[in-house]
Structure 1
């Protein structure tokens, strides 16, 4: 084969190869994507304009490098546009992401969200059940409180009107991202999608609360929220990666309020560490709410998590006021609610 014939028959480079090359060109040649490059790369992914081998390479190169706030902001903007989230209409006070699942403790954060809802705060929770059989995911826990997840965006809006709370699974409002999350058992690692979904805020709520597992991601979420012009957001290292305060440990909450970044440390609520339960019984969620179960760790987690949310929402000016308000909510709760279906 002569050289000219080889030129005529060689395959032209795929447009997405540019983004893989930027990330994977070695220690000296590689660099992060700009916000615009990240946006364009995710638009191609969302439009199914990349080959499976390219998607796998891209996700894993990003995983090794870890996302910058600019990359994350670009990814989120592309995903929001591709999933047409701007068309979704519902009044939401607080956007609450839930994608990690719980393994060491029950999902007490659910009671925190419902406590806020009982006091007039409209909480929209979104998440995805994961592949881990040893984790408890929000969608599967709702039935233990006599609740059910919304089956559509319209039903989520209706639930928010009726009960100030709704949970909607990612596959209902952004199926392509859910499809990519489902690749985790094949890749063996989480991908940037596990990060960006926490920032989607489908109903464009003014306030957003996120939990992460790795502390290094906390400022990335904070700075990305600022780049996305999210008016008010807070991120914390949650128990198990969920948006749940561990009352046995200090909790650093990193926030953004109208473009201004701030950090605030919430001290541990106990001087000692509690032993984690040997087994997890989801029926205890309703029992704790109804006052039929005494568990100081669980109650402190519920109240402490609600306090962080109340401070974010501007319902209290200080940590102490927020903690007291959350405790008042808890002591006045309607204990006859949430009998399991």
Structure 2
């Protein structure tokens, strides 16, 4: 590890990118905690200054996947990957959108942890805990049971990849973004061929597009969404990169084109508020801006997965599923399964 550190931490002019094989060695040392905390912290800081190469990112993703429990054969069509440092000012449209997609016949995956730096915002796990399940209860078994009933797979990432949990303390102490901020979003715990991936800066579009090609995704949509999330904006155009067939291109998603542009109300969010608004959307009782944002994201994701011939067709399909109550029914099935005591679930088998 010391030799690898010498390569990435020589300063702005002397540092070099690691080869893929070297980066694999570094990732293994860090995830198994063979590297000391000082070495791990130094590596994270050096990479933050230098910026990770595509080979280095791929190595950390593949090694992290190796140390994770990953579900296969579930038919999950889409992985929705937003930032694990959470949100502070925007609505979590991706949460109710997941049940809309499931109702449309597109099983999909969400994932997250307790909040991390640098943003320290509200996370998806915080919202799920507001349903009534403490973090310790978000076991892989509950995830799989709720998915079986609803078509929505929510994973508490540190339960599925324990090495990330063991590295939490050093990440919190550093208080900055590390290479793990990208790797944890790409664990692909549900083994999906497609991903919608949120980014904050458009400067990473090209690098991530090349990474997704190397990782073998059939399709990927890299979205410069709300607070760096995978959620398309509903009050302005959103820049995105579509990656497929070994190529990538810029796309602009403008809600005004579809007549659904709206201005979300300004508000201070709590996890309970996020859950309440998500439930209101699914029940047809939310502010138009939140509802339209869920419809827009649902339509684009259905189109990406080939479940709608166009975004317009996706919008019609999503509205019908909201109005007809199918999306809310999927949510209630997921919620009921999640809250079901483990012994009761075993007795039902």
* Normalised TM-score (structure 2): 0.83
Which structure 2 residue ranges, 5 or more long, are not aligned?
340-349
Residues 241 and 181 of structure 1: CA distance in aligned 2, closer, same or farther (over 3 Å): farther
Which structure 1 residue ranges, 5 or more long, are not aligned?
1-15
Structure 1, residues 304-334: CA drift from partner, whole Å, max 9, x if none?
1112211220123433333443334333334
In the other structure, the counterpart of 1:5 is none
Structure 1, residues 132-186: CA drift from partner, whole Å, max 9, x if none?
7973211221355678887333442332221101211111111112332443331
CA distance in 2, matches of 1:324, 1:166: 25
Residues 312 and 183 of structure 1: CA distance in aligned 2, closer, same or farther (over 3 Å): farther
Structure 1, residues 42-88: CA drift from partner, whole Å, max 9, x if none?
01212221111100000011112222222111111111123354x75
Pick aligned residue for 1:136 from 88, 102, 122: 122
Report whether the alignment pairs 1:300 with 2:284. Answer: no
Does structure 2 conserve the Cα–Cα contact (< 8 Å) formed by 1:115 and 1:333?
no
How many aligned residue pairs are there? 324
In the other structure, the counterpart of 1:320 is 312
CA distance in 2, matches of 1:120, 1:229: 23
Report whether the alignment pairs 1:207 with 2:194. Answer: yes
Q: Once the 2 structures are TM-superposed, how far is the Cα of residue 215 of structure 1 from its aligned partner?
A: 2.3
Does structure 1 conserve the Cα–Cα contact (< 8 Å) formed by 2:15 and 2:50?
no
Which stretch of the first structure deviates more once superposed, 18-27 or 180-189? 180-189
Report whether the alignment pairs 1:91 with 2:75. Answer: yes
Q: CA RMSD in A?
A: 2.7
Does structure 1 conserve the Cα–Cα contact (< 8 Å) formed by 2:86 and 2:120?
no
* Normalised TM-score (structure 1): 0.85
Report whether the alignment pairs 1:226 with 2:213. Answer: yes
Structure 1, residues 87-144: CA drift from partner, whole Å, max 9, x if none?
7553311122242322102312201111111222111211111147973211221355
Specify which structure has the higher proportion of helix. Answer: 2
Q: Once the 2 structures are TM-superposed, how far is the Cα of residue 274 of structure 1 from its aligned partner?
A: 4.4
Larger Rg: 1
CA distance in 1, matches of 2:327, 2:252: 31
In the other structure, the counterpart of 1:125 is 110
CA distance in 1, matches of 2:127, 2:268: 19
CA distance in 1, matches of 2:3, 2:312: 51
Does structure 2 conserve the Cα–Cα contact (< 8 Å) formed by 1:235 and 1:253?
yes
